[in-house]
A and B are shown apart, each in its own frame.
Chain A
Amino acid sequence: MKAKTKSRSKNQKVRVKIQKAKGKVQKARPSVKLSSQEKWGRFGSINVPKDREVPFGAITPAPVKQQELFMTSNWRIVRPVIDHEKCTRCFTCYISCPDSCWSFDEKAEKMEWNWKFCKGCQICINECPADALKAVPELDFEDGVVRLEKPF
């Protein structure tokens, strides 16, 4: 029993020391423990400014057609150019494109190419049964992505 009291008073000394080290010497009994908030406060605070916040788990509303925030055609060196006269609207390009860059413009009744996501892989050119597609170097165009000073 005596030993217990002895070790207790020792504990008190240690606790006071801890509190002194933390600059919080209190009159109260040394057995008063710091609230967990004060303790966890030692891990610093994290404050992400609103304009840099990422949505929870980076979960975003699904885009209906395309995600404008992430254009991915930066590294294209050739692009497919369509000859609408030769095109039979067979949709082979639409089916074969891995990035869904071909769509059908119903008003103009023409196939439409999406420059924002086409990487110039030329699968559509290979697959086109009517030979309506041609690979043209990106440098031949004034708006060619290879001419961009700052990639998007």
Chain B
Amino acid sequence: MAQEKLLSGCAAAAQGAKYAEVEVICSFPIRPYTAIMMELARMVAGGELDAEFLHGEGEHAQVSVVLGASAAGARAYTGSSGVGVTYAFEVFSPAAGGRYPLQMAIADRTLDPPGDFGSEHTDAMSARDQGWLMGWAATPQEVFDNTLINYRVGEDPKVMLPQFVCQDGYFLSHIPDRVILPERSQVREFLPPYQAPHPLSPVCPVSHGPQIRPDQGAAMDAQRAATFLDVPKVIKEATDDFNRIFGRKFDPFLETYKMEDAQYAFFIQGAHANTCKNAINSLRKQGLKVGMVRPRWVRPWPTVEIADALSRVKAVASVETSTSYGGAMRGGNLIHELRATLYDLPKRPMVTSFMAGLGGDVVLLEDFHYMAKILQKMVKDKKTHQYVYWIGFEEEKEE
């Protein structure tokens, strides 16, 4: 029987892994993601989940262990947060290059220094170019669903790539919400057991991760890039199947909110989108036609869908929850890709970015009101006054 439970993002991720019937799990503690491993350890100890539970001696070892497990043909699961993600960095590219569809849950956390532990997307975002699939959830339910969808997409024979399933630390990982846990039969229909194409086996010996020559490197890069051209189709198929089997209404790539007649839009990823929706409701009461676009995937970046969704608005506020110091816009990461995405539109909207939700900061309702005010001013003056606004850290200006 499908049942409804009150679960935090971490507990939902653990449930997702349980329903995906993962076979190898490797843990190492770092908050806030640790709660996922606590849940999984309890499940394995209690006989709820039949999996090999290993302790890595660090995050580098964690990903290495699941890489090996995946090479041997197991469905493998690990996770981390903040500096743990960056400590494992070396193994990210080989995991994608070797085509191991393992999954790493990331409950994001600010990077050091100096030891801030609040939510910020920079840790995972800095690994976005390592050839993994990546996306942020906005609710515990979506964390659970993304765990299954990511395994399905990653293990597709056309794809075969590892996946970062990201959620906001604390805001999502530690705040419980209603989660519908499906029936086993539904999950088995959606996610068949993992079949590795060339598993490590004494019966048919193979070499994984051999050295290749420099002249093979470019060809391999091209092959990996070609794979990414196919991923959107697979994501669409998988999401359609998911919606059919579980009765959900996910758009494969974007969550849009009140975009039908919107003139202004917030572009935001992760759990802050929930606050954003509330802000939109109150802004709309004031007569401002605002909408929201939230990408469900960062890699592959839903270029076409985002361009479609934002083709009719006048101005877009990219709400950055990560940093890109010295980047083209001197702010966050999203605006770079967003501006590049919108460049080819016949009528480009104006785009600016707001640094908010950094270091564990809450993005307040009034912050969204402030952003809307700036968007209105931009449209009125027909000028993008600034590329980036550091909310709360701006010079006081006389109005």
Contacts and interface: CB of A to CB of B under 8 A. Distances in A.
Given A48-B219, A54-B220, A18 B311 contact: yes
B340 interface: no
B220 A59 contact: no
Contacts of B100: 57
Interface string A68-104: 0110000000000000000000000000000000000
Contact of B207 (A46, A56, A61): A61
Interface string B241-271: 0000000000000000000110000000000
A56 B198 contact: yes
A57 B222 contact: no
A21 B346 contact: yes
B304 A48 contact: no
A56 to B, nearest CB: 6
Interface in B338-352: 344-347
B257 to A, nearest CB: 17
B210 A43 contact: no
Contacts of A150: none
Contacts of A67: 207, 210
B55 interface: no
B42 interface: no
A43 B208 CA distance: 31
Given A14-B312, A40-B304, A46-B222, A59 B346 contact: no
Q: Is the interface of A mostly helix, strand, loop or mixed?
A: helix
A39 interface: yes
A38 B312 CA distance: 21
Interface in B176-218: 197-198, 205-213, 215-216
A58 interface: yes
Given A53-B223, A58-B98, A46 B229 contact: yes
Contacts of B99: 56-57, 59
B312 to A, nearest CB: 6
Contacts of B225: 46
Contacts of B236: 36
Size class of the contact patch on chain A = 20 to 34
Contact of A60 (B197, B210, B215, B220): B210
B226 interface: yes
A15 to B, nearest CB: 8
A3 to B, nearest CB: 7
B207 A54 contact: no
Nearest to B209: A58
A10 B207 CA distance: 58
A126 interface: no
A108 interface: no
Contacts of A3: 261
B205 A62 contact: yes
A65 interface: no
Contacts of A69: 213
Interface of A: 3-4, 7, 10-11, 14, 17-18, 20-21, 36, 39-40, 43, 46, 48, 52-54, 56-63, 67, 69-70
21 contacts: A4-B260, A10-B312, A14-B311, A18-B311, A18-B346, A21-B346, A36-B236, A40-B232, A46-B222, A46-B223, A54-B219, A56-B198, A57-B97, A57-B198, A58-B209, A59-B99, A59-B206, A59-B207, A60-B207, A61-B207, A67-B210
The 6 closest A-B pairs by CB, nearest first: A62-B205, A57-B99, A46-B226, A17-B346, A52-B219, A54-B220
